[in-house]
C-alpha cells in the first residue's frame, strides 16, 4: 500500500479498486446464476466484513435500506446494493458488507461477494456512453475491462443521495460575494465525472456569478486548458482571459484530478492558475496527496457550501 501511496502522490494517474459482484437468478434464459461485477475506489473502503446483526430503522425511506449496525461505537446504515442497481440478489449465499466512508459519512453496502483488489491506470477506465448512462440512471461513472470481465464503477454518491432526496448540500452565496465575482467576470473550469455533482457544482458557481465551463474528466479539462493556452499565446493574451480557476474531482476516467493538477503545476505558464480539489475522498489521511501535486486548496463535497467563497479567495490570493 505504501508504494500505491507514492504513485498516487506523484500524480501518475493510478488507483486501486475493490472488485465485487452481485449474483442473481437469470430468469430470462435458463434460470442459472448470473454474476455482475462492480468496482469501488479503495480510498472509499474502510473495511469488508460479514453480515452483522442488524437493527431495523423506523420509517426507512427506501426498501434498499436494510437497517443499521454498530461498528466500533458508530451506527452505520446498511444498503442492499442489488436493489439500487435493479438486481434480484440470491439470498442463500453468504453475503459480504463493504463499509465505506466518503463525504465524511459512513455507509455500508451489502453485496454477494468480493473478488480482489486491482491496481489500474485511470486511462484503462472508460467513461460510460450516453446510452449506458441513460439506461442506468447515471449511476455508473466508469467502465473497465479486467481479466475478460466488464466491471462497472458505481456512482455511490448519487446512489446515497437518491435515497435521501431531502438532503441539500447547497446554499445561496452571499450577495456581496456575488457582486464582487460578477464585476470581475471571473471564469471557472470544473471537471467531474458525476452528472449530478457536475450539475450541482456548476449551478453553485453560476449562482455566485462565475462563468462556468464544464468537463466530464481530467483529460477533457486538460484539453480545454491546452486549447485556451494556445489561443492566449497566439493572441498575446493571458490564460486568465479564458479561465481564472480550476475546480476538479479526483476520481475520474482517463485522467484523474491529481494528474490534472500535476500537469497544470508542472507547466511554467499555467502554474499560477489556482486548482481546488473537490472530492468525496478528501480526508485528513488523503489530504497530503493533493498537496504533493500542488493543489491550492482541497474540500470534501460535504463542505461544498464553502465552495464559492474558497474559490474566490484562491483567485484573490493568486492576484488574477
Domain co-membership, 153 together with 179? no
Does some domain include residue 169? no
Cβ burial 58-77 (10 Å sphere, 16+ → b, else e) = eeeeeebbbebbebeeeebb
Domain co-membership, 152 together with 239? no
User: What pLDDT, on a 0 to 100 scale, did the predictor assign at position 49?
Assistant: 97
C-alpha closest to that of 108 among 166, 47, 154: 47
User: What pLDDT, on a 0 to 100 scale, did the predictor assign at position 7?
Assistant: 41
Nearest-angstrom CA–CA distance, 287 and 293 = 11
C-alpha closest to that of 245 among 290, 192, 187: 187
Domain co-membership, 69 together with 159? yes
Domain co-membership, 17 together with 157? yes
The C-alpha R_g of the chain, in whole angstroms, comes to: 21
C-alpha closest to that of 122 among 222, 254, 212, 294: 254
Cα angle: 38, vertex 40, 46; to 5 degrees: 130
Domain co-membership, 23 together with 48? yes
Domain co-membership, 192 together with 125? no
Domain co-membership, 7 together with 129? yes
Does some domain include residue 282? yes
Nearest-angstrom CA–CA distance, 303 and 280 = 10
Domain co-membership, 214 together with 243? yes
User: What pLDDT, on a 0 to 100 scale, did the predictor assign at position 144?
Assistant: 96
Does some domain include residue 170? no
Domain co-membership, 140 together with 222? no
CATH code assigned at 94? 2.40.50.180
Report whether 169 contacts 67 (CB < 8 A).
no
Domain co-membership, 123 together with 219? no
Instruction: Give the helix, strand, coil percentages of the chain, each rounded to 5.
Output: 35, 30, 35
* DSSP β-ladder status, 45-50 and 96-102: antiparallel
Cβ burial 210-233 (10 Å sphere, 16+ → b, else e) = bebbbbbbbbbbbebbeebbeebe
In the chain, the number of structural domains is 2
Task: Quickly tell me which residue has 455533482 as its cell.
Answer: 197
**Residue that is last in its domain, among 106, 141, 163:** 163
**Residue that is last in its domain, among 132, 163, 194:** 163
Does some domain include residue 168? no
User: Residue 204's domain spans which residues?
Assistant: 175-318
* DSSP β-ladder status, 211-215 and 187-191: parallel
Domain co-membership, 186 together with 288? yes
Does some domain include residue 132? yes
Does some domain include residue 29? yes
Does some domain include residue 59? yes
**Residue that is last in its domain, among 114, 136, 163:** 163
Domain co-membership, 154 together with 261? no
CATH code assigned at 306? 3.40.50.2300
Cα angle: 97, vertex 303, 104; to 5 degrees: 20
Series of mean pLDDT values for 10-residue runs along the chain (320 residues): 44 90 79 89 94 88 90 95 88 89 92 96 90 78 93 90 68 82 95 91 95 97 98 96 97 94 97 96 81 94 89 91
Amino acid at each position: 500500500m505504501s508504494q500505491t501511496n507514492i504513485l498516487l502522490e506523484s500524480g501518475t494517474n493510478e488507483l486501486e479498486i475493490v472488485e465485487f459482484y452481485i449474483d442473481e437468478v437469470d430468469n430470462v434464459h435458463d434460470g442459472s446464476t448470473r454474476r455482475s461485477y462492480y468496482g469501488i475506489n479503495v480510498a472509499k473502503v474502510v473495511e469488508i466484513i460479514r453480515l452483522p446483526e442488524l437493527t431495523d430503522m423506523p420509517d426507512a425511506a427506501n426498501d434498499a435500506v436494510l437497517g443499521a449496525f454498530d461498528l466500533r461505537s458508530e451506527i452505520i446504515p446498511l444498503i442492499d446494493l442489488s436493489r439500487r442497481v435493479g438486481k434480484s440478489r440470491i439470498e442463500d449465499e453468504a453475503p459480504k458488507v463493504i463499509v465505506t466512508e466518503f463525504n465524511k459519512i459512513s455507509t455500508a453496502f451489502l453485496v454477494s461477494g468480493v473478488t480482489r483488489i486491482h491496481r489500474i491506470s485511470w486511462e484503462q477506465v472508460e467513461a460510460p456512453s450516453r446510452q449506458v448512462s441513460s439506461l442506468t440512471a447515471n449511476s455508473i461513472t466508469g467502465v473497465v475491462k479486467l481479466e475478460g470481465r466488464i466491471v462497472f464503477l458505481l456512482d455511490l454518491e448519487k446512489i446515497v443521495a437518491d435515497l435521501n432526496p431531502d438532503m441539500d448540500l447547497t446554499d445561496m452565496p452571499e450577495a456581496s460575494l456575488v457582486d464582487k465575482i460578477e464585476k470581475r467576470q471571473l471564469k471557472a473550469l470544473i471537471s467531474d465525472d458525476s452528472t449530478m455533482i457536475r450539475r450541482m457544482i456548476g449551478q453553485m458557481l453560476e449562482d455566485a456569478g462565475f462563468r462556468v465551463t464544464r468537463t466530464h474528466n481530467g483529460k477533457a479539462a486538460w484539453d480545454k486548458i491546452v486549447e485556451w493556452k494556445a489561443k492566449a499565446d497566439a493572441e498575446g493574451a493571458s490564460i486568465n482571459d479564458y479561465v481564472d480557476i480550476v475546480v476538479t474531482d479526483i476520481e475520474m476516467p482517463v485522467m484523474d484530478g491529481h494528474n490534472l493538477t500535476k500537469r497544470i503545476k508542472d507547466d511554467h505558464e499555467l502554474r499560477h492558475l489556482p486548482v481546488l480539489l473537490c472530492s468525496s475522498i478528501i480526508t485528513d489521511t488523503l489530504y497530503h496527496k493533493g498537496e504533493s501535486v500542488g493543489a491550492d486548496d482541497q474540500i470534501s463535497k460535504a463542505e461544498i457550501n464553502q465552495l464559492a467563497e474558497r474559490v474566490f479567495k484562491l483567485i484573490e490570493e493568486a492576484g488574477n
